[in-house]
Chains A and B, each alone.
Chain A
Amino acid sequence: MTMRVDLPEETLAGVLARAFGNRSFLIGLVITLLILAVALVSFVWTPYDVTRLVIADKAQAPSWAHWFGTDHFGRDILSMVMVGARNSIAVALVAVGIGMGIGVPLGALAAARGGLADEALMRVNDVVFAFPALLSAIMITAIFGPGAVNAIIAIGIFNIPVFARVARAGALAIWAREFILAARAAGKGMTRITVEHILPNIATLLLVQGTIQFALGILAEAGLSYVGLGAQPPMPSWGRMLFDAQTRMVTAPWMAIFPGMAIVITVLGLNLLGDGIADILDPKSRRRR
């Protein structure tokens, strides 16, 4: 049986009512769903084919035919932004998955065991923290060459200590509670207590951190693609589009404006969503963020 002590008298209806009264959450949710929808639609339909180069249409300003203009190869920027959303979301999502999948068990283990295991984990965390995602990406690229997968691994590695810390801190607080003592008295083992009581109670924390890391992952992916360490052409990616735009700022500024706006809106939506979730599930957290 799972115990949810943090929300004892909370009903689902109550949470939902608060969710739809929370401005951050609503705006964030709408933006996030919109971006997800755009990414999904791009699988079946885009205004133009992003793999076809039409040199006659190159570097056209935004118009009714091309809402966001065209790039230096005559590709439709709106279509590329749509397809680029796929790449950004996929990279950031898998990187969060890596961070959670490895970091949370490690953090939970450190909290449950304490002592030497805890100390060892914290020291390894320190080491990984010393490598910003960009540096990991540089080293991984030096070994395997550039590619979207390397970006995922680099950002994922960076996410591991983040989730390990959050899970450890959250779990430590729960371990000190009385109902855990009761569970231990009932003869439950460490693993069982962790799975049945600790994890459900830190799920909120992890969800909030997950949205934050998702947003950071999108920014990091854009940065890596921009310097050529992420997705490789012809795969459209927002960061790569900005790289192509850089030398054409004078003649075709729209090449830079729209992919950048896509990044800003996506990250803004995710951050608002994360703030909103934190507010709804734990009103006390509002002040801390």
Chain B
Amino acid sequence: MTAYLLKRLIIAALTLVLASMVVFAVMEVLPGDPARLMLGLNAGADQVELLRNQMGLNAPLLLRYLHWAGGLLSLDFGRSYTYSVPVIDLVRERIAVSLPLALIALALSTIIAIPVGVFSASRQGQAGDTLAMGAAQLGVAVPNFWFALMLIYLFAVWLRLVPAGGFPGWGAGAWTALKSLILPAVALALPQAAILGRVARSALVEVLNEDYIRTARAKGLPYRAVLWRHALRNAMIPVLTILGLQFAFLLAGTIIIENVFYLPGLGRLIFQAITQRDLIVVESIVMLLVAAVILINLLVDFSYAIVDPRLRGRQ
């Protein structure tokens, strides 16, 4: 198992390095001089040159990459051009909104999807299955931000149960803060749950047709035990794979959903930074999200080894 985990780890590290090169290269070809941006249009050429030297912008390309990448590792993303504060401070403040939102949505979609998948798979072809999978088919087609608008209309405008948007901050009390994350989390989670539920069902249906399931039933195990203990565990690999892929979509979804609900998360920050051409902030957030996607997929690879004992022996 160590060899398997090591290989996944090396691949993840390699992916991270290559991805960081892509992000760095993109920011390199961008028009606009950060030094000129910070000093304003009235600054003299020698002043700009001085700041460029100070910022290390005149160093050779490779050195600048290593400096930037080294900074990332120690969570030093540089300073925001517009806010004149370290980028990490901005990120830390915003991540306190985005990360809980993404995690709640992920948990919610899993809690909904797995039971629905089990329900459908154990009633394959029956009315309940058709109904649940029809709903899932519809759910897959719903864009989360439109679903969010409909939820706002129903629960915030009509029923006035939750705020339509904004975020009071965690300082206002955990419940008050959580209340403004409920609708965004549901909007993110339901379309994802539809995808996951379909995957869970088809993985389970496949497993339920295996010989060892018949054997387990034949030796007298109750259907419930076979379904939840034997079948579900064996169906977990595709479910985990999709779960990992979905996290990438959830992060992207969070960026969009934050704009629907006016939540001060990373998504709002990145769009503000784009309009203000605060590129170092854009660069840092993109890199952070890419790293998160790679990390999650690594965790998924690791979890395979836990779920599937066969992988533990393999090289």
Q: A123 touching B149 by the CB < 8 A rule?
A: no
For the complex, give the distance between the alpha carbons of A134 and B293 in Å.
Answer: 13
In the assembled complex, which residues on chain A have CB atoms less than 8 Å from the CB atom of B15? 123, 126-127, 130
Is there contact, CB below 8 Å, between B14 and A123?
A: yes
Query: Which segment of A108-116, A191-199, A265-273 sits at the interface?
Result: A265-273
Interface flags, A103-131, vs B, CB<8A=1, else 0: 00000000000000000000110110111
B152 with A132: CB separation less than 8 A: no
Q: B142 touches which one: A131, A226, A264, A272 (CB < 8 A)?
A: A264
Among listed B88-96, B107-115, B254-262, interface-contacting one: B254-262
Stretch at the interface among B16-24, B33-41, B50-58, B71-79: B16-24
The stretch from B179-187, B198-206, B215-223 touching chain A is: B198-206
Tell whether B66 is near chain A: CB-to-CB under 8 Å: no
The reply to whether A227 and B14 contact each other, CB–CB distance below 8 Å, is: no
B170 touches A (CB below 8 Å) = no
The segment from B97-105, B224-232, B244-252, B302-310 that touches chain A is B244-252
Are the CB atoms of A242 and B274 closer together than 8 Å? no
Q: Which residue of A lies closest to B138 (CB)?
A: A268
Q: Does A250 interact with chain B (Cβ within 8 Å)?
A: yes
A215 beta carbon closer than 8 Å to chain B:
yes
Per-residue interface assignment for chain A, residues 263 to 289, with 1 indicating a CB less than 8 Å from any chain B CB and 0 otherwise? 111011001100000000000000111
Q: With an 8 A cutoff between CB atoms, is A1 at the interface?
A: no
Q: Which residues of A contact B252 (CB under 8 A)?
A: 132-135, 223
Contact A249:B153 (CB < 8 A) given known A132-B251, A132-B252, A135-B286: yes
Chain B residues with CB under 8 A of A242: 145-146, 149
CB-contact partner of A249 in B142, B157, B198, B251, under 8 A = B157
Main secondary structure of the interface of A (DSSP, over half): helix
Residues of chain A lying within 8 A (CB to CB) of residue B174: none
Q: Which residues of B contact A253 (CB under 8 A)?
A: 153
Give Cα distance in the complex from A234 to B290, angstroms: 33
Contacts of B279 in A (CB 8 A): 142
Q: Are A142 and B146 in contact (CB under 8 A)?
A: no
Which residues of A188-246 have CB atoms within 8 Å of chain B's CB atoms? 215, 219, 222-223, 226-228, 242, 245-246
Most buried by A among B143, B259, B293: B143
Taking A127-B22, A135-B289, A143-B30 as contacts, is the C-beta distance between A223 and B145 under 8 angstroms?
Answer: yes
* CB-nearest residue of chain A to B255: A134
Q: Which chain A residues border B271 with CB–CB below 8 Å?
A: 227-228
B30:A142 contact, CB within 8 angstroms? yes
Q: In chain A, residues 135-165, which have Cβ atoms closer than 8 Å to a Cβ of chain B?
A: 135, 138-139, 141-143
User: Given A135-B286, A242-B146, A253-B153, A289–B138 Cβ distance below 8 Å?
Assistant: no
Choose among B19, B30, B150, B270 the residue that contacts A130 (Cβ–Cβ < 8 A). B19
Whether the pair B259, A245 counts as a contact (CB closer than 8 A) is no
- Enumerate chain A residues within 8 angstroms of B290, measured Cβ to Cβ: 130-131, 135
Distance between Cα atoms of A143 and B286 in the complex (Å): 14
Complex Cα–Cα for A256 and B26 (A) = 35
Q: What chain B residues lie within 8 Å of A74 (beta carbons)?
A: none
| Cβ-based interface call for A62 (8 A) | no
Question: Is the C-beta of A97 less than 8 angstroms from some C-beta in chain B?
Answer: no
Report yes or no: B256 in contact with A226, Cβ–Cβ below 8 A. yes
Q: B29 on the interface (CB 8 Å rule)?
A: yes
State whether A222 touches B149 (Cβ < 8 A). Answer: no
Instruction: Among B149, B255, B293, find the residue whose CB has the most chain A CB atoms closer than 10 A.
Output: B149
Asked if B177 CB lies within 8 Å of chain A CBs, one says no
Q: Is the CB of B256 within 8 A of A260?
A: no
Nearest B residue to A261 via CB reads B146
Q: Which residues of B contact A138 (CB under 8 A)?
A: 270, 274, 282, 286
Q: A130-B19, A288-B202 are in contact. Are A142 and B26 (CB under 8 A)?
A: yes
Apart from A223-B252, A264-B143, list 16 A-B contacts with CB within 8 A.
Answer: A123-B15, A129-B293, A129-B297, A130-B248, A131-B293, A132-B249, A135-B286, A142-B274, A143-B29, A227-B271, A256-B149, A256-B153, A260-B150, A265-B141, A267-B141, A271-B141
* Pairs A–B under 8 Å by Cβ, sample size 23: A124-B18, A129-B297, A130-B19, A130-B297, A132-B252, A133-B252, A135-B289, A142-B26, A142-B274, A143-B29, A143-B30, A222-B146, A223-B145, A223-B252, A227-B255, A227-B271, A246-B149, A249-B157, A257-B150, A260-B149, A267-B140, A272-B137, A287-B209
- Chain B contacts to A: CB under 8 angstroms: 11, 14-15, 18-19, 22-23, 26, 29-31, 137-138, 140-143, 145-146, 149-150, 152-153, 157, 164, 198, 202, 205-206, 209, 248-249, 251-252, 255-256, 259-260, 270-271, 274, 279, 282, 286, 289-290, 293-294, 297
Q: Using CB atoms and an 8 Å cutoff, list the residues of chain A in contact with chain B.
A: 123-124, 126-127, 129-135, 138-139, 141-143, 215, 219, 222-223, 226-228, 242, 245-246, 249-250, 253, 256-257, 259-260, 263-265, 267-268, 271-272, 287-289
What 4 A-B pairs have minimum CB-CB distances, sorted nearest first? A260-B146, A267-B141, A134-B252, A268-B141
